[in-house]
Amino acid sequence: MKKIEAIIRTSKFEEVYEALTEIGVPFMSTYDVKGFGLEHGTSQVYRGATYNVGFIPRTKIELVVTEGHMDDVVSTILKVASTGKVGDGKIFIMDVQEVIRIRTGEIGELAL
């Protein structure tokens, strides 16, 4: 099992959520996060005004899926969350050792 953590533009969240629902993902956790990437501390011009790039609000999605579903989920996020501009976000993928459904005590993929 793999845990996928994606930090995406908040403006893309609704579209990503719908696309993941369409490919049959029945669960996810989301978080409001603030962060910075490579542009931290630099200035950017937006509509004629110069802004210092500090902590920017983003949306984080977390989901644990079977290895078989991972490629489908990752490629969907990549396709929908991308604008091609700096700040599109990042996807982190981790191994998950165990999952337990508290209600039933089921473990592993059965508990997803």
Ligand X SMILES: Nc1ncnc2c1ncn2[C@@H]1O[C@H](COP(=O)(O)OP(=O)(O)OP(=O)(O)O)[C@@H](O)[C@H]1O
Six token digits for residue 94: 């981790």
User: Whose Cβ is closer to ligand X: residue 86's or residue 100's?
Assistant: 86
Site for Mg ion, rule CB under 5 A: 37-39, 86-87
Rounded to whole angstroms, what are the CA distances from 87 to 3, 53, 112?
22, 11, 31
Site for ligand X, rule CB under 6 A: 7, 33, 35-39, 56, 58, 86-90
Give the shortest CB-25-to-ligand X separation in angstroms: 21
Q: Which does 90 bind (CB under 5 to 8 A by kind): Mg ion, ligand X, none?
A: ligand X
Q: Taken in order 97, 6, 56, 43, is the CA torsion positive or negative?
A: positive
Q: Taken in order 34, 40, 43, 47, is the CA torsion positive or negative?
A: negative
User: Whose Cβ is closer to ligand X: residue 60's or residue 69's?
Assistant: 60
Q: Which does 56 bind (CB under 5 to 8 A by kind): ligand X, Mg ion, none?
A: ligand X
User: Whose Cβ is closer to Mg ion: residue 15's or residue 39's?
Assistant: 39
Q: What are phi and psi of 15, to 5 degrees?
A: -65, -40
